[in-house]
């Protein structure tokens, strides 16, 4: 299992557009085969940094997932929406493996 972290630089005056974009991915990504952890938008601190995070079995599975996502009606519309509205200024993608597993039990003080 690998985790894809997408770091976005967004237009701070178009945060609502990014929120709509993220909610659309909340429907399309799981439908196309990735385990979506979530999209995270600015709250406090930076007004321009956002993240998307999901798990996928392998890079080969990622390639198949991307093909399904690009063929998905909502996926295609969401890509077009981001191009048309230009709220994403920069996007960086990295794949990481969780190396701290297994975790201990959560202890609440």
What would the pLDDT profile of 24-54 be if each residue is shown by its tens digit? 999 999 999 999 999 999 999 899 999 999 9
Strands of the sheet with 2-10, listed across from one edge? 35-40, 49-56, 2-10, 88-96
Domains in the chain with CATH codes:
2-96 (3.30.70.100)
| 47 exposure class (CB count in 10 Å sphere: 0-12, 13-18, 19+) | middle
Reported pTM: 0.90
């Amino acid at each position: 299992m690998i985790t894809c972290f997408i770091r976005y630089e967004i237009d701070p005056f178009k945060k609502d557009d990014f929120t709509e974009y993220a909610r659309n991915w909340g429907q399309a990504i799981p439908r196309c085969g990735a385990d979506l952890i979530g999209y995270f938008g600015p709250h406090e601190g930076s007004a321009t940094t956002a993240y998307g995070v999901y798990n996928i079995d392998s890079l080969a599975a990622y390639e198949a997932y991307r093909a399904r996502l690009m063929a998905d009606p909502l996926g295609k519309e969401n890509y077009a929406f981001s191009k048309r509205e230009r709220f994403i200024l920069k996007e960086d993608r990295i794949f990481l493996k969780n190396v701290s597993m297994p975790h201990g039990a959560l202890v609440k003080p």
